[in-house]
Amino acid sequence: MPSTIVTLDAPLDMHLHLRDEVMLRNIAKASAATFSGALIMPNLVPPVSSKEALLAYKKRITEAIGEEHFTPYMTLFFKSEYDRAFLESVREELTAIKLYPAGITTNSQGGVSGFDIEALRPSLEAMSDLEIPLCIHGETNGFVMDREAEFVSIYEKLASAFPKLKIIMEHITTKESVAALDRFENLHATITVHHLLITLDDVAGGMLQPHLFCKPIAKRPQDREALLKVALEAHPKVMFGSDSAPHPRHAKETCGCAAGVFTAPIALQLLTELFDTHRSLEHIQAFISGNAQKIYGIAPLSKKVILEKEPFRVPAEYNGVVPMYASEEIAYSIKGVRHG
């Protein structure tokens, strides 16, 4: 029987961490080799919060990917002091602005403390008028399993107060976030591949698995089922965002384990296997590219990725970064990439 062949057209990763300096140079090609483009997160140290910093970071990314056919869609780290004049000056250089609650995840200390709608109004109204999407890491400082569900009420306030502002609920993990999608026209979401595959039991149900620890943390089986439903049917308001977040091995396999799952080199293989297993391959193209193009209004570079149902053993590490499913076998392999 011939192997299953799947061709993905212009795959997009709409939530990616490329880090900087040595890490950037070590892992950028892991995404650029197979994705047509990615939305690049701005939580560096210091964060990317000026036009000059954005352009300089984009230049470093371009140098790191070399000849790869890949577009870095750039973001700024949200600051409430962004005024209309500044946003107008930088509009053509960015795709979105990322808002982090203060201290909630990696390098987010300069984020928003409290969500006073009136204090945020000048910036968010200007973003709305200029059609700049707002991406949000939606967690409170509550009990870890409840943080995202608690944040839904903040999403609702923002969506109601700024009905023309396109809001992206990043890397959603709960059934509550899924339910919010259909209550507000301006709410959209990214979903990671690891949250479609694992629950908290995989992270901490037996021996602790540091390379599956991330923020937001994986949730309950019923939450995963809600995510699977909208992803596998390619609900028009959801899209793939890996939240692939590399850390060196010593930062993961230690007391005080850093949060982040590194999936960039195997994300497309895992998604293809997942959609195939659930007999939903007809929807994978919309989930990994079509929906994002419509939501963000982008036209990605032409790139076709050919995958075959042939076992692939995941390397133990990529330049010192341990991936999800390191040294394990997955069902699909990438057989080729064509440009144009």
Residue 190 phi, psi dihedral angles, 5° rounding: -105, 150
Count of C-beta atoms within a 10 Å radius of residue 119: 12
The verdict on whether omega for the bond into residue 46 sits within 30 degrees of 0, i.e. cis, is yes
For residue 333, list its beta bridge partners.
308
Catalytic residue set: 243
Nearest-CA neighbor of 284 among 196, 167, 198? 196
Return all residues near 273 (Cβ < 8 A) that are at least 6 apart. Answer: 330, 331, 332
Residue 335 in 3-state DSSP?
strand
Taking the C-alpha atoms of residue 138 and residue 148, their distance in angstroms, rounded to an integer, is 6
At 284, the amino acid letter reads: I
Q: Cα Rg for the chain, rounded, in angstroms?
A: 19
d(C-alpha 164, C-alpha 185), whole Å? 9
72, two tokens? 């870095």
DSSP-assigned beta bridge partners for residue 304: 9, 338
C-alpha–C-alpha distance, residues 219 and 101, integer Å = 20
